[in-house]
Structure 1
Amino acid sequence: MNARRLLYPAIAAIGIAALGSYAYYAERQPQRPMEQTAGTAQSSHGAGRVKGQGSVVSVDVATVATVKLVDDVSAVGSIRSNESVVIRPEVSGRISRLNFGDGQRVRKGQLLVAFDASVNQAEVQQAKAELGIARANFERNVDLARQKFISVRARDESLANVQVLEAKLALAEARLSKMEIRAPFSGIVGIRTVSVGDYVKDGADLINLEDISSVKVDFRVPEKYADVVRKGQLIEVMVDALPGKPFRATVDAIDPQVDSSGRSALLRGRIDNPEGRLKPGMFARVRLILGVRDNALVVPEEAIVPQGNKATVWRVVDGKAARTEVRTGLRRAARVEITQGLQAGDMVVTAEQIRLTRDGTPVKIAQGAPGARPVEASAETAPKS
């Protein structure tokens, strides 16, 4: 009885152990082919990578070109008159004469506006008469003082009276001159807003006078260019009112103070305007020419491969790729200036650089690749003088 009780647990333990062993080997058995397959695939991939390192890479290329490159700065500005003034009277009065027509050209010193000056003319005549009497009295007093009939003091008092009346006459003539307004310079008058008979107060706007034989163009550039701008540098000006008509100018003045709010420097150029086509107040698009490089080397932008804080390109030398460090300059029209590292005629890779992992990789130029042509230089020529 006791033997049977011990037999049943033993049989159960043996069965459980057998089932566990079977499950363990059943689970382990299918994984072996997968591991072998994965290992085979990895081996094949590694073999392919090793083998691919020596394969030829098809790339697009461009030739380093020599062009005339313009270093310029673009800005916006306004056209201003060479000389501009608003005619205003210094005294109040009634207009008696307007000696110009609207939009008419006038000469320097020409009478423009005259006021009623009858009172002022009378004051001048009165002052002249008083001065004449005083001078006659002074001459008689000189003779009398010489003959000792009057004192020297009486003679001096008559002289002082002459001097006072001379100043009175000068004051009356000055007031009379204020009743006429003459052109301070030659130019073109605007459109008047007054007529003969109008009574105007001192300081009222009568007419504007503009000298546009030459005009000024005022514009601002960032402060970083303040140290490289010089008087006499060329300026190309375009105005929206005259499309397709560039105007040549030169830097005429540089404001020594940099605007603290906009961090910009004010420049002024001067343009000859004999035909009067440029008008004050026009919006101007300005191109300041800082310099012209006749033999600048340029490559397409896509040829530049950044490497840390350096710029590099892949050159094609004897059918192989060679990484070359370069220094860049200006960027114009998707082209980059190369200041160091390349020479004219060198061939650089413009596409598929990601496949070039080391120097000496064999390459071939893709047939019909647009980069195989030299860099276009027509867009980078300097403006004609």
Structure 2
Amino acid sequence: MTDADLRAAVPQVLSALVRRGAEFAAAEDAVQEALVEGLRTWAADPPRDVRAWLVTVAWRRYLDAVRSDVARQRREDIPPPEPVEVPGRDDSLQLYFLCAHPSLTPSSAVALTLRAVGGLTTRQIAEAYLVPEATMAQRISRAKRTISGERLDAPGDVGTVLRTLYLVFNEGYGGDVDLVAEAVRLTRQLHQAYDHPEVAGLMALMLLHAARRPARFSSSGALVPLASQDRSRWDTRLIAEGVSVLQAALAADRLGEYQAQAAIAALHCDAASAAETDWVQVVEWYDELVALTGSPVARLNRAVAVGEADGPLAGLTALADLDPGLPRWAAVAAYLHAAAGDTATAADLYTQAARAATNTAERDHLQREAARLRGATPPGGG
């Protein structure tokens, strides 16, 4: 069984324990202990049914933990488990909703989803988010305590689940866990189990963005903006799959924000170059997205599209209604001013945007743009 297969089995095993009455936090600990035991012993004596083995061992570990805490829980007489029955996909599906519970903060929901649904270790999650393992362990423990009284069969909010998965995707990757690939894997699993056009919309959006990923950075690690990317490096297989998933979702005629974003991404992927992009359609899809969400970020991106479709002055007019305090407002304003020929203002805005950048690659790119417009050599020799 591959690592991916093993991680896919985790939510089914965990849901089996919770379904039998196990408290979520204790059940999750028991599943992790069973995984460790399995990896230690399977090389010499692999089980015929890995999932059934994990359910049996995890349940025993759970019972042992309960019985060792007699004074607090009074659970010594828990009956032996019924014959093992590996749960179906609907049980594991509910874990998505439980781990993305509205009472959790976004960071806690992401961490718990990666741990309980994704099957990642605390160390792997901590490395992916570039935080100490102890910090991540505390975050996960708090999240488990928060939802400890929630039932597995409680109705869930698919919007919260999708936002959580999108947060995972947007974090990128780090350590030995590729969060982009992990988000795609989990969303694909959700898409296969849950017939909802917005689930399909997010699946398509992730696939289309992931397809462009090989061209996002140069060989030296510099960020490459969309207009300058080598499109021959885009993954055409992922693009075809993303477009197919999107078309099926749009056919349901229940438009949502992820479908609209995926439609914009599909238009970019369909163009042989930035100049050949159907910017008029992109603006139309941003109009749909703004109508659905009212999102200032969507309006910010729409200003860029308007600048491409109708000229930079039109883009600046669209930008004028937005709060300059928005993240990346200065970068968008710089781009449009540069396109309009006002290089001095654009250089100042790029410098301002660089100071507010949240990651090194983005900051370096913005500094290079400012230096280019000033005719200077950027820091580090460009």
Structure index of larger Rg: 1
TM-score (norm 2): 0.21
Larger helix proportion, structure 1 or 2? 2
Greater strand fraction, Structure 1 or Structure 2: 1
Higher relative contact order structure (alpha carbons within 8 Å, sequence separation ≥ 6)? 1
* TM-score for the superposition, normalised by structure 1: 0.21
